[in-house]
Chains A and B, each alone.
Chain A
């Protein structure tokens, strides 16, 4: 079946540090890939997405590249800020049929000043 595996947290970084949160997936066909973010006290919201191999999604300084050969979609940011503290979820959606989103377990990021 379709599944997403992301690195377990929590992750604690200092401000301006480099961030990588690993995400790999298993899916039939060619899924679309997403990163969602949940800031403290808020609902989940889309951070970025990529719909085909080699696409790069980017938003708010975050980037992730759809790597079909390694079935990965790692999230990166060159210089994190305290305001990036949140829980990050990797997700996939398969094409056709039931377009449900399958999520990873989430990775909690804390950025200290």
Chain B
């Protein structure tokens, strides 16, 4: 498809386990963002990739969170030793320089 694709759409895990969330941006989009959407908290910026530049990791809430973007395309957000407060919808978005942001449908993460 032509949109931003995220997988899985839903993930249920046990506290303490690691999870990996995947984002396939729109082909050719150089910028990729990860956000977290929690109930009543709006969208929280996590990390931003732009081309070959060093990513802006200023939004990652703890060192349990990490992300990489391989080959300037697919990105993986990894959460280690998940906690219940990590439960949220994780959104990926991409755009080309100067253009609007396109969001994926998100991954609903539930930590039991």
Contact = CB atoms under 8 A, between A and B. Distances in A.
Nearest to B41: A105
- Chain A interface extent, by class: 10 to 19
B42 interface: yes
Nearest to B53: A98
Interface in B27-46: 31, 33, 35, 40-43, 45
B93 to A, nearest CB: 8
Interface residues of B, number: 23
A49 interface: yes
B100 A43 contact: no
A100 B33 contact: yes
A19 interface: no
Contacts of B41: 105
Contact of A98 (B56, B100, B106): B56
Given A101-B45, A106-B42, A43 B105 contact: yes
Interface of A: 36, 42-46, 49, 89, 91, 98-106
Interface of B: 4, 31, 33, 35, 40-43, 45, 48, 50, 56, 58-59, 91, 93, 100-106
